[in-house]
Amino acid sequence: METSFTRLVGVRYPIVQTGMGWVAGPRLVSATANAGALGILASATMTPGRLREAVREVKSRTDAPFGVNLRADAGDAGDRVRILVEEGVRVASFALAPSRELIAELKAAGVVVVPSVGARRHAEKVTAWGADAVIVQGGEGGGHTGEVATSVLLPQVVDAVGVPVVAAGGFHDGRGLVAALAYGAAGVAMGTRFLLTSDSTVPDAVKARYLAAAVGDVTVTTAVDGLPHRMLRTDLVDSLEGAGRTASLVRALRRAAGLRRVSGLSWSRMMRDGLAMRHGRDLTWSQVLLAANAPMLLKASMVDGRTDLGVMAAGQVAGVIEDLPSCAELVERVMAQAHATLHALPAPGAPAPEAPPSGAPTL
């Protein structure tokens, strides 16, 4: 299935595996790429040295294009961009709008720039700066999210920009891909669905918690870092929401120290990143400090398997996912269902199917 997005990035299918922290490592990214979709490596919790190693590991596992997700507001974003350029990475993905200068540097090196956005005005801004495509996440999506549903946000962005738009938030099968295409998107991006594959390195016990969740078990909370964060409802989430300010700040300081050890960042660099995070947002200094909770709370679950100590970011689709296919099986299934759905759609002007006789069973 060829779209403007597949032509832009050089993949066979209009499907993106998102850059999930602690989840989208070399194994998952290369498995996605080998399946014909675009895998995106999550780098925010890696040191620059580890990022280079991870990129080279993906390249040793696949010859297909893949991308790397970067934090645009990180103090060392420029250094990480240079690693992508030097290592020949095809796509740079950003969770926040990159600067005009970063976009220009990447494009000059032939790297495709695909920021993620949550509002039409953000899409208009980054495309005016030269972004080659955008990933648009509606409120159904996991992790940091907004309030506008994909079905409302997606067509707004499609109508506003002249670059390929990839839809995210609420997608897990071929029917969703067809729906996104009907809205004008050039593909879909999925996070939770790829997290719940056999190629994902997330511990089996954590995957079991996701598979057992119903749609009502996925909630949005600001208790983790002061920003709306969609995740599974757990006892820990309840306790975070009920904790007082002092206890929350002590916990945040402890986990900020843990993040510093894992990421290799200095305290001064973390403070600069905190200033960048606060810029343009209505966050108190307490909320900026609490933001250090998120990476370590995610690591506790996604890496260490401690669902009692960590949080589990999740899109609402977690409540309807029931199995753990490989990435190859998942992509094949999505594409087969998409083609079957398109084939089953009535042709324009075709007569409506006859109603069954009265009393006859319906399917």
Bridge-based pairing of strands 15-17 and 38-42 is: parallel
- What mean pLDDT is reported for the chain? 88
Q: Give the start-to-end residue ranges of the domains of the chain.
A: 4-200+322-339, 205-316
Are the beta carbons of 16 and 8 closer than 8 angstroms?
no
CA distance 245 to 4: 48
Alpha carbon 210 to chain centroid, angstroms: 17
Cα distance between residue 138 and residue 91, in whole Å: 22
Q: What is the pLDDT of residue 291?
A: 63
Please check whether residue 326 is in contact with residue 199, taking contact to mean a CB–CB distance below 8 angstroms. Answer: yes
Angle between helices 174-183 and 327-344 (to 10 degrees): 60
Q: Is 202 helix (H, G, I), strand (E, B) or coil?
A: coil
Angle at Cα 163 formed by Cα 62 and Cα 279, nearest 5°?
Answer: 90
Tell me, yes or no, if the pTM score tops 0.85: yes
Is the model's pLDDT at 236 over the cut of 90?
no
Tokens of 300: 């506790």
CA 52/CA 84 separation, integer angstroms: 8
* Residue pLDDT, tens place only, 112-146: 999 999 999 999 999 999 999 999 999 999 998 99
pLDDT above 80 (res 266): no
User: For residues 321 and 336, what is the distance between their CA atoms, to the nearest angstrom?
Assistant: 17
> Is the pLDDT reported for residue 363 higher than 50?
no
Structure tokens at 151: 């079905």
pLDDT in the model for residue 134: 98
245 pLDDT more than 90: no
Q: What is the mean pLDDT of residues 90-103?
A: 93
CA 328, 330, 332, 335 torsion-angle sign: negative
% of the chain at pLDDT higher than 90: 71
Residue 258 burial (CB < 10 Å; 0-12/13-18/19+)? middle
Instruction: Select the highest-mean-pLDDT range: 70-74, 131-135, 227-231.
Output: 131-135
Are 53 and 26 spatial neighbours (Cβ–Cβ below 8 Å)?
no
Question: Which token pair is 20?
Answer: 């999930």
Contact, 153 vs 120, CB < 8 A? yes
Write down the residue that tokens 């879909």 correspond to.
Answer: 188
Over range 5-17, report the average pLDDT: 98
Q: Please give the Cα distance from 221 to 219 (Å, whole number).
A: 7
Domain spanning 4-200+322-339: CATH superfamily: Aldolase class I (3.20.20.70)
